């Protein structure tokens, strides 16, 4: 049984009391529906906020993963360069040892070996310097790529927020325009109804006058 019907079935109530009770039940129902609508809107906003937070966290995690990957690549390059430099040092030491063993030989041969060793050492130093410079360039390039990726992500987040704000403003405008159209339509219908009522009254007066 509906609440209104239960109120109407009470025979000990006057018509005014039954109407007041029915209006009270209707008011409670409207309040309940309004509360449900407000809660639904709050839940929608909370869901949208949670979605934005999850998107930002995912972007932040992806940026952290890229930073870690670039740091590992830089470390690998540094390790490789360090290993190659160590090998070059071992070669230089081996040449130096060989030179020491051959010092008892002829003077010209010794000088030639020394000159060759010095030239090779100079080349090895040049190669080591070149490798060090290349490593520095790669580090700088990776840092710039990380900064560029971070700026692009921040710009994308800003654009997404701008798009969301624009869509929300457009929705508010459409809602306002729809309400304005309904208001104007109701006013126009009320004016037409008034004109029809006046016309009917005029015709009724003319009919009454013609009797």
Q: Are 67 and 146 in contact (CB under 8 A)?
A: yes
State how far the alpha carbon of 39 is from the alpha carbons of 34, 44, 157, in Å.
Answer: 9, 9, 28
Share of the chain above pLDDT 70, in %: 85
Tell me the mean pLDDT in the region 33-50: 83
pLDDT the model gives residue 121? 81
Cα 69 to chain centroid distance, Å, stands at 22
| pLDDT above 90 coverage of the chain, percent | 0
Q: How far apart are CA 157 and CA 144, in angstroms?
A: 20
pLDDT at 80: 74
Domain count along the chain: 1
Q: Report the predicted TM-score, pTM, of the whole model to 2 decimal places.
A: 0.28
Range of the domain at 164: 3-210
The residues, any chain, with a CB within 8 Å of residue 95's CB and separated by 6 or more, are: 117, 120, 121
The answer to whether 138 touches 80, Cβ cutoff 8 Å, is no
Among 79-88, 114-123, 127-136, 196-205, whose mean pLDDT is lowest? 79-88
């Amino acid at each position: 049984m509906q609440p209104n019907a239960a109120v109407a079935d009470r025979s000990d109530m006057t018509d005014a009391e039954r109407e007041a009770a029915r209006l009270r039940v209707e008011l409670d129902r409207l309040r309940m529906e309004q509360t449900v609508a407000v809660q639904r809107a709050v839940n929608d906003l909370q869901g949208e906020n949670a979605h934005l937070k999850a998107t930002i966290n995912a972007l932040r995690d992806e940026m952290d993963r890229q930073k870690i990957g670039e740091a590992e690549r830089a470390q690998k390059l540094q390790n490789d360069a360090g290993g190659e430099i160590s090998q070059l040092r071992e070669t230089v030491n081996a040449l130096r040892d060989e030179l020491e063993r051959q010092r008892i030989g002829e003077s010209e041969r010794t000088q030639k070996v020394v000159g060759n060793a010095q030239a090779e050492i100079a080349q090895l130093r040049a190669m080591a310097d070149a490798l060090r410079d290349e490593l520095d360039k790669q580090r700088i390039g990776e840092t710039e790529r990380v900064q560029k990726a971070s700026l692009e992500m921040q710009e994308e987040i800003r654009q997404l927020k701008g798009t969301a704000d624009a869509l929300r403003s457009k929705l508010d405008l459409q809602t306002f325009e729809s309400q304005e159209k309904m208001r104007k339509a109701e006013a126009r219908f009320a004016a037409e109804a008034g004109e029809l009522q006046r016309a009917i009254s005029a015709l009724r007066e003319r009919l009454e006058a013609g009797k």
